[in-house]
Amino acid sequence: MSHSSAHSPAEHAVDDHDHDVAAHVRTYLIIFGALLLGTVLTVAMYYVDFSSMALTVAVALFIATIKAFLVAGYFMHLLSEKKLVFGVLILAAIFFISLMGLTLWGSGDLPRNSDFKTLYVP
Amino acid sequence: MEIPYTYKARPDTGLYNAKVGIWLFLASEIMLFGALFSAYILLRVTAPAGFWPDLALAWPRGLLNIPIGTFNTAVLITSSVTVVLAWASLKMNNFARFRVYMVMTVVCALAFLGIKSFEYNDKFSHYVVRLKDGKSLTGHIEVDGRHPRFWNFDDQWSVAKLTEKKIEKIKVEVDPPRDINGHVKKHEGHGSDAHPAQEVAVSDIESMGSYTPATHPFFAVYFLITALHGLHVLVGALVLAYFAFPGAKMWKSNPEQFINRIEVGGLFWHFVDLVWIFLFPVVYLL
């Protein structure tokens, strides 16, 4: 896209994707609604008794992950991002998953269910 | 010397440099918060039973104010959409609307911090009181007719300090009983009746502590992660406020670079929202 020097500086900012941006605004508002709905759902789940802590945690983290996907994918434009950004994030994901995996693996070796008074003296 | 690739994409990466920079920074932030979440997991799975008085639970649940936390989540999500709309407004060459959205974002950030400090303050006057007969109470306390305040560390009470000050009785506004999931059982009354005040003789108390890190690892990890998150909100608000006012001069001199700055600032802001999306269920609901 070429500009003559007669254009105001702001017009330089307008690129070929101008019309796409207007369409994107609609998407942003839909995602906004979905995120608010997700928040209501997260809180509603708290009042449901799943009778299993593992299931409760799984449901809460599942909803949070979907919300995170919406924010990263649309607000942060990750769905249409260049390869290099994914390279950086895949590396971070590998380290993050390793960290959480080692945490859960190692937690089995720690003492638990001991009498709190032997550990905690106020 | 001019800084290269502030708005033109670098041919080999296909990105302007600031975007590569912010994503590297966000990757390191994932690890920072990841480390704290892993600390949370370890503290929680190894917490001994009976650590928390209610029903011999190892880990307290439902102690934070869920309606307020939900409202704050909505505030942060709103700020996330306004910051992306601010960027889109610039893309559509509408500076006035950009500024409106940016101001809305900063107002949301300040509202979030204000609400959070209200919650913090509340925890400093909320106590666990373990009695010598083996029972325990939780609730806000009154000593000498006033609630302890967070800005005054002299106002934090222990049995030794109450004895030293020759205070014989304290008042506890007893919390309603909770079930195993931390849900409040059916209210016996409403308003002040839901928290009946009870006088407790200091000589009957074995130990007591406020809802602060010294009392339980839950509060240690809660205050640590939410305060670090709050610091991110504060810094983000300062940066976005700078872009909305003094930094907006660049819109006249170099609009493409300015739009990129807004995008990069927005990426940071969305990350702060992302952390909260996980933090809210983890500390408030689970």
Predicted model pTM: 0.88
Domain with CATH 1.20.120.80 in chain B: 17-122+217-285
Across the interface, do A95 and B207 touch by the CB < 8 Å criterion? no
Across the interface, do B27 and A119 touch by the CB < 8 Å criterion? no
pLDDT at position B149 is 75
Q: Which of B58, B81, B256 sits opposite A12 (nearest CB)?
A: B256
pLDDT over threshold 60, residue A4:
no
CB A82 within 8 A of CB B14: yes
Which range among A20-29, A53-62, B171-180 shows the weakest confidence by mean pLDDT? B171-180
Q: Which of A51, A21, A106 is nearest to B38 (CA)?
A: A106
CB A67 within 8 A of CB A38: yes
**What is B17-122+217-285's CATH topology?**
Four Helix Bundle (Hemerythrin (Met), subunit A) (1.20.120)
Question: What pLDDT band is residue B268 in, cutting at 50, 70 and 90?
Answer: very high
CB B89 within 8 A of CB B81: no
- According to the per-residue pLDDT averaged within each range, which of A17-31, A69-83, B137-151 is highest? A69-83
Q: Which of residues 39-68 of B touch A (CB under 8 A)?
A: 41-42, 45-51, 58, 66
Q: Which of residues 18-37 of B touch A (CB under 8 A)?
A: 19-20, 23-24, 27-28, 30-31, 34-35, 37
**Per-residue DSSP letter, B2:** P
Neighbours of A88 (CB within 10 A): 16
Distance of CA A32 to the CA centre of its chain: 14
Whose tokens are 């670079």? That residue is B257
pLDDT over threshold 90, residue B244:
yes
A89 touches chain B (CB under 8 A): yes
pLDDT at position A122 is 44
pLDDT at position A111 is 64
Question: Under 8 Å CB-to-CB from B36, ≥6 apart: which residues?
Answer: B221, B224, B225, B228
Question: What pLDDT band is residue A7 in, cutting at 50, 70 and 90?
Answer: very low
Which range among A37-41, B102-106, B160-164 shows the weakest confidence by mean pLDDT? B160-164
In tens, the pLDDT along B171-229 reads 999 888 777 666 777 655 555 566 788 899 999 998 888 898 888 889 999 999 999 99
pLDDT over threshold 90, residue B24:
yes
Across the interface, do A99 and B31 touch by the CB < 8 Å criterion? yes
pLDDT over threshold 50, residue B278:
yes
B10 touches chain A (CB under 8 A): no
